[in-house]
Amino acid sequence: MGVVHTQRKPDQTPGPERGFQLPRSWGLAVSVLCLGLLVGLSSGLLARFFELTQVGLLGFAETPGTPTAEAVPPIRRLASVTIAGLVAGLVWAWLRTRTRLVPSVGQAVKGAPMPPGRTVVHVLTQIFFVAAGGSIGREVAPREAGALLGGLWTRLGRRLGLRDQDGPLLVASAAGAGFAGIYIAPLTGAFFGIEVLLRRVDAEVVTVNLAMSALATLVGGSIKGFAPYYKVGSESFRPWLMAVVLLIGPVMGLLGAGFRRMTSWAEAHRTTGPAAIWQLTVVALLTGLVALAVPQVLGNGRALAQMGMDQRLSAGFSGLQLAQPLALLALFALAKALLTTATIRAGAFGGTLTPSIALGSAMGAVLGLLLACLVPGLPVWQCAVIGAASLLAASQQAPLMAMAMLMEVCHLPVMAFMPMGLAVALSMAVSRLFVAKA
């Protein structure tokens, strides 16, 4: 019987380019190291750009001790945010009508390519607008910059032995690292990548996210400093505070769900095209007019959040002394919520994370002042911080990220985890009842 010879077909299995390749584990390690350093550098530079823009337009640089532009002449506040609204409106209208849209971070994680030039313009416009006083968060900009770097790295690093599914992991981790590098909050950045973007947990996902955010925090902090973002009191968190959060948590859950629905509506109906130019200018002008008397509404909400955390109730207080801060905090929080929603609706791009902290801090302080009448010695600032974490968790539907962020940006002691954890859990439970219906 003759031997039948068959011709062997070449390997048709798709894969990375032939040639030398690193083992996948080494490729991931190199990717984490390089991306962590690059994203941290981008976040640090964005922080410096924010400071330079703020000094140039408003004439002051915010710090934990001076977060509000109260010393800036009112007319300069008005001019700064109004001009910024016009400039940002022009840029965003051009991006929306003359070029392809810049994908969101979530879309980038799913594989949508972020065009480098347009993404950089988009990122810098967000930072410029918030630094000038626009009522919206700036945290989306460093996340977009991180996602851009992560996407470029995965497309260029073909010889690192990475798999197709490593792309979303690296892009999400880089986006979270961008957040970590600008707020000096490594756990927050890691939880954002895990809890918000990837929505899955395993040893590899946690390791990559934690390592990249830690490296980005190191580099970003080396550029902008490691000081806390908010200044808080020094009193210890007592176990009996657990009883107080039984009220704070559910209330913040309701408010957080309401704010989420407001901003989600604004994002769904965001103005596009040339109309964004005049609409964003009008909203910026309105923000400036409010800021003539209430400078706390300017920017991403840091000033209002710090106002809530600065509240103290002195011994022998009168009803009038209590009524004034209660009214101001509630009024300022309402103004901030409405202006942020209107800013998004008018065509602005940015985040709602730091505005959520501002609202939670202000309303947490309101509840703290009222409860201090019944519980003498209650540190009102602790109610503000817990309120900030609880409302943030509800508005972002990200409890671990919210809790980690307030712990990190305020440099809180580990005992704060106890009341904050319960408050965040209660807030999430209540908010889910309303978010699920949205």
Burial 112-140 (b: 16+ CB within 10 A, else e): bebeeebbbbbbbbbbbbbbbbbbbbbbb
Whole-structure pTM value:
0.92
The Cβ of residue 372 has, within 10 Å, a number of other Cβ atoms equal to 20
| pLDDT tens by residue, 385-397 | 999 999 999 999 9
Residue 206 lies in a domain: yes
| pLDDT tens by residue, 146-200 | 999 999 998 877 677 788 788 999 999 999 999 999 999 999 999 999 999 999 9
pLDDT > 90? residue 24 = no
| pLDDT tens by residue, 278-332 | 999 999 999 999 999 999 999 999 999 999 999 987 766 666 778 889 999 999 9
| Shared domain check, 244 and 189 | no
What is the 3 state secondary structure string of the chain? CCCCCCCCCCCCCCCCCCCCCCCHHHHHHHHHHHHHHHHHHHHHHHHHHHHHHHHHHCCCCCCCCCCCHHHCCHHHHHHHHHHHHHHHHHHHHHHHHCCCCCCCHHHHHCCCCCCHHHHHHHHHHHHHHHHCCCCCECCHHHHHHHHHHHHHHHHHCCCCCCCCCHHHHHHHHHHHHHHHHHHCCHHHHHHHHHHHHHCCCCHHHHHHHHHHHHHHHHHHHHHHCCCCCCCCCCCCCCCCHHHHHHHHHHHHHHHHHHHHHHHHHHHHCCCCCCHHHHHHHHHHHHHHHHHCCCHHHCCCCHHHHHHHHCCCCCCCCCHHHHHHHHHHHHHHHHHHHHHHHHHHHCCCCCECHHHHHHHHHHHHHHHHHHHHHHCCCCCHHHHHHHHHHHHHHHHHCCHHHHHHHHHHHCCCCHHHHHHHHHHHHHHHHHHHHHHCCC
pLDDT of residue 3: 45
Domain ranges, residue 261: 240-436
| Shared domain check, 274 and 206 | no
Domain boundary (224, 248, 266) is at 224
Chain-wide mean pLDDT for the chain?
91
| Shared domain check, 175 and 277 | no
pLDDT of residue 316: 60
pLDDT of residue 318: 63
| Shared domain check, 246 and 185 | no
pLDDT > 70? residue 22 = yes
| pLDDT tens by residue, 224-236 | 999 999 999 999 9
Average pLDDT estimate for 250-274: 95
| Shared domain check, 168 and 74 | yes
Average pLDDT estimate for 1-20: 46
Residue 34 lies in a domain: yes
CATH code, domain carrying 333: 1.10.3080.10
pLDDT of residue 78: 97
Cβ neighbourhood burial of 211 (10 Å; 0-12, 13-18, 19+): buried
Task: Provide the domain count of the chain.
Answer: 2
Residue 347 lies in a domain: yes
Domain boundary (177, 197, 224) is at 224
